[in-house]
């Protein structure tokens, strides 16, 4: 597949400055980026339309919710800029599952790039995070290819407090949506903005 060689183009672990300068000059063809996005849209669009219905709230949330058949759609969560963690006041606190999304401007379609879970929604994004590097590479590549992007992060706070249960939910969501920046699914999409090194 023509994407496979792209993995190493964005290896942020290399400390050689001249190598890094070379990497910054790498250009991913607009057609390749669009084809890559389209594959993800084709998988995720039907899920956005129908909503995610495989959340077993009775066991995950240990409640007698009347909405056992309710669907969940991350598009309905409030979008925040990726720089939200720099704000002086924390918006979200406590456990969450979060979705990093992009709105493809010319098609008006959304794609989920990454799904994660955290015990502390307000702090998780402040530290080092592989996904931040992938998003930086993604944004730079789209900018160089003259493709508009509208990145956001959305927090789902109605999730289990228990870490084990929250991670189980995260894995179900990853296996459903197949976001390309999660390590479990990168190989499926031959994601050109990530490195094979974890």
The structure tokens 């979705």 sit at: 99
Kindly report the CA angle at 141 between 106 and 151, in degrees rounded to 5?
A: 55
What is the model's pTM? 0.75
154 is written with which tokens? 């959305």
Long-range pairs for 23-31: beta carbons < 8 A, 24 or more residues apart:
24/140, 26/141, 27/141, 27/144, 27/145, 28/141, 28/144, 28/145, 28/192, 29/145, 30/145, 30/146, 30/147
Question: Helices marked H in 51-194 — which ranges?
Answer: 57-60, 130-144, 163-177, 186-189
Q: Are 159 and 95 in contact (CB under 8 A)?
A: yes
Sequential pLDDT tens for the chain (198 residues): 444 443 433 344 443 434 444 445 567 889 999 999 999 999 999 999 887 665 444 344 444 333 334 578 999 998 988 876 665 566 667 899 999 999 987 778 999 999 999 888 666 566 666 777 888 888 888 999 999 889 999 999 899 999 999 999 999 999 999 999 999 998 898 877 765 334
9 DSSP 8-state letter: G
Give the distance between the most distant pair of CA atoms in the chain. Answer: 59
Give the SS3 label for residue 176: helix
Question: Residue 155 pairs with which residues in a beta bridge?
Answer: 98
């Amino acid at each position: 597949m023509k994407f496979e060689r792209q993995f190493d183009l964005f290896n942020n672990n290399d400390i050689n400055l001249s190598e890094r300068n070379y990497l910054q000059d790498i250009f991913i063809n607009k057609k390749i980026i669009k084809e890559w996005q389209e594959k993800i849209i084709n998988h995720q669009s039907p899920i956005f339309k129908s909503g995610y219905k495989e959340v077993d709230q009775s066991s995950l949330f240990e409640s007698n919710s009347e909405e056992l058949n309710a669907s969940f759609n991350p598009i309905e969560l409030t979008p925040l800029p990726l720089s939200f963690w720099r704000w002086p006041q924390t918006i979200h606190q406590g456990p969450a599952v979060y979705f990093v999304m992009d709105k493809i401007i010319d098609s008006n379609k959304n794609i989920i790039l990454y799904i994660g879970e955290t015990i502390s929604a307000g702090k998780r994004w402040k530290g080092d995070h592989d996904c931040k590097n992938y998003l930086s590479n993604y944004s730079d590549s789209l900018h160089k290819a003259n493709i508009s992007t509208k990145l956001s992060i959305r927090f789902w706070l109605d999730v289990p407090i228990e870490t084990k249960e929250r991670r189980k939910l995260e894995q179900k969501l990853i296996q459903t949506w197949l976001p390309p920046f999660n390590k479990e699914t990168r190989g499926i999409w031959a994601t050109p903005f990530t490195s094979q090194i974890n």
